[in-house]
């Protein structure tokens, strides 16, 4: 084979390889899939009637104290379901870059009497930003359910959530009785009649 032909063939191979490399960097491969974005929240009993996003207020209601100067709230959301009688159900979610003082208060001093848990259950009504790998966190939860605190094993990130019911509605008040009518179970207002022997 002619040396000039060999040189031309080698040049074509090199140019083709460089073009393929450049093209592969520009066009993503077919088997590369973009990460799936979480969809909207699937509400269990309908969407909340109110969504609160005042992060400091949510923090205060959650931990019964104000955030310290070194506590940085990344995300906060509270969902409330109300009817004509008032609050029926609520839940809140927080992600905080917690100060050492907050971590000590919540985890070491155990301000809420929580117990260790092996994993953090998935909360179906959580916002999309409330996602984490359970194995990367130490989980504490209330013995009755409700509050769950997830402390990162690698940094000071804290995920927290709680939920509950509103005020329990009391029994309806009894209807007023007619004047002079006897109320069952009560002592009569007049003495019993005297029998003659």
Q: What value does the mean pLDDT take over residues 88-109?
A: 93
| Band (88; pLDDT cuts 50, 70, 90) | confident
What local confidence, expressed as pLDDT, does residue 170 receive? 55
The model carries a pTM of 0.63
Say how far residue 76 (Cα) sits from the centre of its chain.
9
Q: What is the Cα–Cα distance from 90 to 88, expressed in whole angstroms? A: 7
Q: What value does the mean pLDDT take over residues 28-37?
A: 42
| Band (46; pLDDT cuts 50, 70, 90) | confident
List the structure tokens of 73: 């709230």
List the structure tokens of 182: 């006897």
Containing 8, the helix (H) or strand (E) segment is: helix 3-26
What local confidence, expressed as pLDDT, does residue 30 receive? 38
Q: What is the Cα–Cα distance from 20 to 12, expressed in whole angstroms? A: 12
Q: Which residues contact 161 (CB under 8 A, 6 or more apart)?
A: 91, 92, 93, 94, 123, 126, 130, 147, 148
Does residue 180 surpass a pLDDT of 50? yes
Within 10 angstroms of residue 159's Cβ, the number of other Cβ atoms is 23
Q: What is the Cα–Cα distance from 63 to 61, expressed in whole angstroms? A: 6
Q: What is the dihedral of CA 116, 117, 120, 125, to 10 degrees?
A: -80
- Across all residues in the chain, what is the average pLDDT? 78
Within 10 angstroms of residue 115's Cβ, the number of other Cβ atoms is 10
Containing 16, the helix (H) or strand (E) segment is: helix 3-26
Between 92 and 4, the higher pLDDT residue: 92
What local confidence, expressed as pLDDT, does residue 20 receive? 52
Eight-state DSSP code of residue 170: P
Q: Tell me which of 38-47, 67-76, 154-163 is least confident.
A: 38-47
Angle at 7 between CA 6 and CA 12, to 5 degrees: 95
Q: What is the Cα–Cα distance from 8 to 29, expressed in whole angstroms? A: 30
Parallel, antiparallel, or unpaired for β 157-165 and 86-97? antiparallel
The percent of residues above 70 in pLDDT, for the chain, comes to 64
Between 181 and 126, the higher pLDDT residue: 126
Does residue 81 surpass a pLDDT of 50? yes
Between 30 and 179, the higher pLDDT residue: 179
Q: What value does the mean pLDDT take over residues 108-135?
A: 84
**160: closest CA among 58, 85, 83?**
58
Domain boundaries, the chain: 50-165
What local confidence, expressed as pLDDT, does residue 36 receive? 44
Q: What value does the mean pLDDT take over residues 48-64?
A: 90
Q: What value does the mean pLDDT take over residues 114-134?
A: 82
List the structure tokens of 140: 């504490």
Q: Which residues contact 8 (CB under 8 A, 6 or more apart)?
A: none
Q: What value does the mean pLDDT take over residues 80-91?
A: 86
């Amino acid at each position: 084979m002619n040396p000039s032909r060999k040189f031309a063939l080698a040049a074509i191979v090199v140019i083709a390889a460089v073009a393929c490399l450049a093209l592969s960097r520009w066009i993503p491969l077919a088997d590369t899939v973009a990460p799936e974005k979480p969809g909207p929240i699937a509400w269990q009993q309908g969407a909340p009637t109110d969504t609160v996003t005042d992060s400091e207020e949510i923090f205060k209601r959650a931990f019964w104290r104000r955030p310290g100067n070194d506590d940085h709230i990344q995300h906060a959301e509270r969902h409330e379901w109300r009817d004509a009688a008032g609050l029926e159900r609520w839940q809140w979610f927080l992600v905080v870059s917690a100060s050492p003082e907050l971590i000590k208060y919540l985890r070491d001093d155990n301000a809420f009497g929580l117990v260790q848990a092996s994993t953090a259950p998935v909360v179906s009504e959580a916002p999309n930003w409330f996602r984490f790998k359970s194995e990367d966190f130490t989980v504490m939860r209330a013995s009755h359910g409700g509050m769950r605190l997830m402390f990162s094993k690698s940094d000071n990130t804290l995920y927290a959530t709680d939920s509950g019911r509103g005020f329990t509605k009391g029994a309806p008040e009894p209807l007023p009785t007619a004047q002079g009518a006897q109320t069952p179970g009560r002592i009569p207002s007049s003495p019993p009649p005297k029998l003659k022997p």
